[in-house]
């Protein structure tokens, strides 16, 4: 008994001592508030977040930001909360209270404070509220959008204050939108709600449509969700008008998606338009050239990441020529090693190149392993242009459209304007005549095949931005490539262009109605029927050369 008392006494003294010595760090509400974030359950964390945000302490923004970014951690030893920054293999901790550095720790000493989607949404809303009055207009704009999404009635007064002092017209519109949204959902004043519906109706915006939709639908029992009939009717009408506006924009979006798919098909097929279209080689290893290009991109990025991390945004610019050279060289080796012995024997060429494709796949699998490799998007290719009308144009797709057209123009120029292009056309049109004119037809064959393969390699660089970089990458594109070339007309670059874009757009307009699987089948059936009618494709070559 006595012993226990001493023990308690000692503990008490120790506690007091600790409290005294660490007093500066533990004394205020803010520190306790931060510490409370390290709660067990998500609902406790939610309460702690609310409490912290209501402190109107400027430091809360940094803490909540860190929590949202997954940088708020606690030490396993004493449970104290810090903001962590990764520095190589270790983490540098800063105190959330006075932003002082408190040293570095290993990853195993700290643990991240976890949040879930619900808290993430809440944090974004709160941070929006906290940054509504910020000096930075970009921050204010994103804050206005966040407040709209969060739709929290507690922010109404804050919003009104922000509206009163906002001068930027764009931001003001966004603030009005957020204000109307909150009024519509949470107010009980019918007139105010009806005018909120009127305000919202002017926005052609999927988020607004979604909000109005909440009020405009019947529940499962067939009763309107919105109890006030006037508001229900207004919301329903507004929803319909916003939706019909959106539908027009969606059509435009659909067209963009079709063009984008077309550009991917064009990229994949344009190399084949040379090896198959111009030379007549049924090259089943074409897809593997694309794959080699994608792996070249991976290697280039890997080197840049380890040696010149600042130049990462340039990685694709370096990868394009590298991929052209790698795939082109492999193409020349294949032509000299295998294909040249098989000219005029399409069946043997098909089998031999198919064998080559398997060898290349397995080679890559042995070197890099069977799993996907990570190829990053440079910053100028990530994200999207998002208009307020719900039209999303992703940057990587836009660049691929531009890039594919660029590649096609380059090829056309090479074929039309250079000596090599002239020789290439001469050899493919009449080999005997070209040889007797002193053209080394063997070399021209090799270089032409190299050019086609190199272009396929370039396509691989672009495809690595939207698809897996795995040994199977090429297989996914080989059928599509042949389809485009045959449909467009063998031996005709413009045919490939038109073929690719018409297939892409057709596919994308059918997909919403027929589904992805059926759309693909319908396209294939369509092409088979088309080939029956026009065996030479859309743009058939005319002349004697064709008859060979």
List interacting residues with other proteins (CB under 8 A). 42, 70, 112, 114, 116-118, 120-121, 124, 149, 206-207, 209-217, 220, 250, 253-254, 257, 260-261, 264, 361-362, 365, 369-377, 382-384, 386, 390, 392, 394-397, 466-472, 475-476, 507-508, 511-512, 515-517, 520
* CB contact set of 319 (below 8 Å; sequence gap of 6+): 296, 297, 300, 301, 461
Nearest distance, CB of residue 39 and other proteins, angstroms: 14
Segment (H or E) for 394: strand 392-394
Report the C-alpha gap between 272 and 152 in whole angstroms: 56
Structure tokens at 15: 């506690």
- Which of 485, 505 has the CB closer to other proteins? 505
Min separation Cβ 418 and other proteins, Å: 34
Distance CA 297, CA 302 (A): 8
Comparison of 169 and 247: residue with beta carbon closer to other proteins: 247
**Smaller CB separation from other proteins, 450 or 460:** 460
Cβ partners under 8 Å of residue 223, min gap 6 = none
Q: Are 463 and 294 in contact (CB under 8 A)?
A: yes
Question: For residues 34 and 96, is the Cβ–Cβ distance under 8 A?
Answer: yes
Give the nearest distance from C-beta 231 to other proteins in angstroms. 14
**DSSP result, 434-475:** HHHTT--HHHHHHHHHHHHHHHHHHHHHHHTTTS-BSTTTTH
CA–CA dist 389, 250 (Å, integer): 9
Q: Give 31 or 301: the residue with its C-beta nearer to other proteins.
A: 301
Going by C-alpha positions, the residue among 25, 130, 19 that lies closest to residue 67 is 130
Nearest distance from residue 257's CB to other proteins, in Å?
4
Q: How far is the CB of 264 from other proteins (least distance, A)?
A: 7
- Strand runs labelled E in 243-310: none
By beta-carbon proximity to other proteins, the closer residue of 276 and 298 is: 298
Question: CB of residue 148 vs other proteins: minimum separation in angstroms?
Answer: 12
Tell me how far apart the alpha carbons of residues 513 and 447 are, in angstroms, rounded to a whole number: 45
Q: How far is the CB of 227 from other proteins (least distance, A)?
A: 15
- Residue closer to other proteins, measured from CB, 150 or 451: 150
Helix (H, G, I), strand (E, B) or coil at 9: helix
Report in angstroms how near the CB of residue 22 gets to other proteins at its nearest.
28
Q: List, in sequence order, the alpha helices (H) in 37-116.
A: 42-53, 59-68
Specify the residue, 101 or 386, whose C-beta has the smaller distance to other proteins: 386
Which is nearer to other proteins, 16 or 479 (by Cβ)?
479
């Amino acid at each position: 008994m006595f012993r226990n008392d001493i023990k308690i006494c000692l503990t008490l003294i120790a506690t007091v001592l600790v409290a005294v010595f660490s007093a500066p760090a533990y004394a205020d509400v803010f520190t306790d508030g931060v510490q409370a974030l390290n709660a067990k359950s998500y609902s406790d964390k939610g309460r702690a977040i609310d409490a912290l945000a209501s402190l109107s302490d400027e430091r809360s923004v940094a803490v909540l930001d860190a929590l949202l970014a997954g940088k708020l951690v606690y030490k396993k030893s004493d449970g104290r909360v810090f903001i962590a920054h990764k520095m190589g293999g270790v983490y540098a901790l800063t105190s959330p209270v006075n932003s002082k550095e408190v040293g570095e720790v290993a990853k195993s000493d700290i643990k991240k404070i976890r949040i879930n989607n619900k808290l993430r949404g809440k944090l974004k809303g709160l941070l929006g509220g906290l940054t509504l009055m910020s000096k930075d207009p970009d921050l204010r704009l994103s804050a206005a959008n966040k407040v709209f999404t969060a739709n929290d009635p507690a922010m109404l007064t804050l919003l009104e204050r922000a509206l009163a002092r906002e001068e930027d017209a764009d931001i003001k519109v966004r603030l009005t939108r957020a204000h109307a949204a909150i009024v519509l959902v949470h107010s009980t004043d019918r007139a105010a709600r009806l005018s909120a519906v009127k305000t919202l109706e002017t926005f052609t915006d999927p988020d607004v449509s979604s909000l109005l939709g909440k009020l405009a639908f019947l529940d499962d029992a067939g009763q309107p969700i919105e109890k006030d009939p006037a508001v229900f009717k207004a919301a329903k009408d507004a929803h319909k008008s916003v939706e019909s506006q959106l539908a027009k924009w969606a059509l435009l979006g659909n067209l963009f998606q079709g063009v984008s798919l077309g550009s991917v098909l064009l990229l994949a097929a344009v190399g084949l338009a040379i090896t198959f279209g111009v030379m007549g080689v049924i090259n089943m290893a074409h897809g593997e050239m694309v794959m080699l290009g994608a792996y070249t991109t991976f290697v280039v990025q890997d080197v840049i990441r380890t040696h010149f991390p600042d130049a990462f945004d340039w990685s694709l610019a370096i990868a394009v020529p590298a991929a052209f050279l790698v795939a082109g060289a492999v193409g020349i080796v294949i032509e000299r090693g295998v294909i040249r012995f098989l000219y005029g024997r399409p069946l043997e060429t098909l089998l031999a190149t198919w064998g080559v494709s398997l060898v290349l796949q397995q080679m890559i699998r042995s070197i890099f392993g069977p799993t996907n490799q990570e190829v990053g998007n440079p910053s100028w290719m990530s994200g999207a242009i998002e208009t307020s009308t719900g039209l999303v144009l992703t940057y990587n797709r836009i660049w691929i459209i531009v890039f594919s057209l660029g590649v096609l123009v380059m090829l056309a120029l090479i074929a039309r304007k250079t000596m090599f292009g002239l020789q290439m056309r001469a050899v493919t049109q009449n080999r005997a005549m070209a040889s007797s004119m002193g053209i080394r037809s063997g070399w021209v064959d090799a270089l032409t095949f190299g050019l086609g393969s190199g272009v396929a390699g370039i396509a691989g660089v672009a495809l690595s931005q939207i698809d897996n970089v795995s040994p199977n990458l090429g297989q996914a594109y080989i059928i599509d490539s042949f389809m485009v070339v045959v449909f467009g007309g063998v031996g005709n670059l413009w045919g490939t262009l038109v073929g690719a874009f018409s297939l892409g757009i057709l596919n994308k307009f059918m997909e919403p109605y027929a589904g992805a699987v059926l759309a693909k089948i319908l396209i294939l059936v369509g092409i088979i029927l088309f080939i029956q009618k026009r065996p030479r494709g859309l743009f058939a070559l005319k002349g004697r050369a064709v008859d060979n």
